[in-house]
Amino acid sequence: MLWDRLPSSLRSRGLMPWAGARDFVRSLCSYLEETTLESLSVAGVLALEQKHKDEGPHQRTKRRLIDFLVNELAEQGFPANLLDTYGAWIEVLEPSYQPTAEDTRKATQGMARLLERAFADGRADGPEIKNIQNLALTFELRSTDTGPLVQRFAEPVLGPLLQAGMGDGKLDDGQWQIIRDYSLLLQVLGLGYDKERLSKTLQKVNIYRAGRGEDPVGLFLHVGFKTFELDPVYGVTAARWHRVKGRSKQTVDGRLYVYAKQLLFHSDEVALLLDSNKVKDVGANLYAVDHSHYLTMTLQEDGAEATLRALEDKVWFDQCYKILTAGGLGAVAAPAPEQASKDGPREQSKEASRPAQSGWEAALAELNDLVGLDPVKGEIINLANLVRMQQRRAEAGLKTVQVGLHAVFTGAPGTGKTTVARLYARLLKELGLLSKGHLVEVDRSGLVAGYSGQTAIKTDEVIAKALDGVLFIDEAYSLTPESGQDHYGDEAVQVLLKRMEDYRKRLVVVVAGYTEDMERFVGSNPGLASRFTRTIVFPNYSAEQMVEILERMATSSQYNLDPMLKGLLLNYFEQRCARAGVDFGNAREVRNLFEQLVLAHSNRLSTMDHPATNDLTTLTSEDWKQT
């Protein structure tokens, strides 16, 4: 009985034996023990205080009783059943209970013992983890105190599991439950330090499950919003948000978190919540040039047109469509473009028919799907295979060859250098060489400042953004002009060389530009020549390839080309290729021509009262004549 365990100072009204018992404390102990936890209430305690008001005031007495309960919890090691019971008692004794420094110290020591038991013998005990969560909430433990403890005891168990999950995603139900319990523990404790590993594991596991036809699973990730604290995240990917309303335009890069019924787009500038009630006219699309997926939609609130484009993981493209159109995961499939007129492009049907791929396979597939560029694809694949085999040799205990990852991309504008650089970054991430695999694209203006001493600071800031990814410097030769007199450009190069050495395991640099100019750039400095030992030449597109690029652009925008127009385009591009100079625009010229054809098509159809669907979707030789 609680009353019998209390010290005499709490049970007695005074120090002398005849002072008598504290009837209020006796009644309070009976009320706490005889009332179910669900029926306990502050009102019940207040009623007892009123009944025994002659013994009042009672606030100090209740506080002393709480101190006794905390001491007893600590002595018994904060067992789950006792913690649930005493936690409920403390809540009705003092609704605004604030743990004292001594309470916090005891609870923190208790958490260390619970964590040691929870992660003992290379396992994770789910009930113990839930008890740890309860302890942290009851005593309002700070993340600065709990974080080091969780890392110390959980890492030996979670480290290998997360490593396996980030590899091929093949985890059994028991292993996944351990990771899920761990993610919830971090969420409840307000710890966000393991978000990167959990996100990557979640991505790989769901890719693997999708390939087996299984439903996606979710983890708890710390995203900084109270609304989602106890909602599992089913996917995380880099994304780009583009919004247009009249003359107002906004483009923001950020992270997209996929919940069961909502999407959360979050960046330093924007926090946006999307669901099926906030958007309409959702369309699924594929950009033909780099095969990136995007959704178009109209915002219900103000009628603005918006685009949400996935920059990394395509696995969640269909799921995002389902959430915005049917209100939840797994409700419907994103439309097959060949079967829809306004809901999606024909190009996507190829993707829909393919089995789910690993991140490595998906990146290679995207590379191979690009039009032309066969020499480039061969170089990238050869490099990737070289890296993979050196990794396997290392795993087998054999000597390895150091592989240089920095590269020079040379060629005319519009040959896909930026697109390939983005895929290169993804491949390096999938190979485990870069933890993020993002691309930061700059030119001279992004590195060089207008005043002496500021260039080093500006270049350092750009490099910091690119860490764990790829820094892509377009027209890099402009940093070392032929005149040789450019203090600012030289300052940027010196900082770049220093940071390439400092962060050799966290930074890959790709420099790009015209072939002759890049040869001069690399040869202008011994440091550049020693670091950029790999050159990949991007050839001009052939006439046939340029027609294919234009046809893909048309298909992704739900246009098609009639046979006569294709013949005219082929003849035109053959002439352009025959007289192409160093500044030949390649795919950029194709894009400009496509936009002119669409404009001419719109002008032609504007004279028709009721154009048929075939008229609305077909670009013809008549449109060519107007370009």
DSSP conformation class of 403: P
- Domain annotation for the chain: domains and CATH numbers: 2-193 (no CATH), 234-348 (2.30.29.30), 359-538 (3.40.50.300), 543-625 (1.10.8.60)
* Residues lower than pLDDT 50 in the chain: 15-19, 227, 288-289, 331-357
DSSP letters along 29-65, please?
Answer: HHHHHHS-TTT--HHHHHHHHHHTGGG---HHHHHHH
Q: Would you state the structure tokens that stand for residue 44, as one six-digit string?
A: 């019940």
pLDDT of residue 221: 83
DSSP letters along 265-297, please?
Answer: EE-SS-EEEE-TTTEEEEEEEE-TTT--EEEEE
pLDDT of residue 509: 94
Element (H, E) at 416: none
For residue 181, count other CB atoms closer than 10 A to its CB.
21
pLDDT of residue 356: 40
404 neighbors 533 (Cβ within 8 angstroms): yes
pLDDT of residue 18: 40
Whether the bond into 57 is cis, omega within 30 of 0: yes
291: left (phi over 0), alpha (psi -120 to 50) or beta: left
Q: Can you list the positions of beta strands (E) in 458-583?
A: 469-474, 507-513, 535-538, 560-561
Place of tokens 């100072």: 9
DSSP letters along 68-83, please?
Answer: HHHHHHHHTT--HHHH
205 neighbors 211 (Cβ within 8 angstroms): no
Q: For residue 208, with 0-12 CB atoms within 10 Å meaning exposed, 13-18 middle and 19 or more buried, which class applies?
A: middle
433 neighbors 405 (Cβ within 8 angstroms): yes
Q: For residue 38, with 0-12 CB atoms within 10 Å meaning exposed, 13-18 middle and 19 or more buried, which class applies?
A: exposed
3-state secondary structure string across 568-583: HHHHHHHHHHHCCCCC
Contact partners, residue 283, CB within 8 Å, separation at least 6: 295, 296, 297, 342, 343, 344
pLDDT of residue 339: 33
Per-residue pLDDT of 495-523, as tens digits, reads: 899 888 888 888 999 999 988 889 998 98
Q: Give CA–CA dist 349/346, Å, rounded.
A: 6
Cut 0.75: pTM above it: no
26 neighbors 10 (Cβ within 8 angstroms): no
**Residues β-bridged to residue 286:** 293
CA distances in angstroms from 348 to 258, 284, 353, 359, listed in the order given: 21, 9, 9, 18
Buried b / exposed e along 591-603 (16+ C-beta atoms within 10 A): bebbeebbebbee
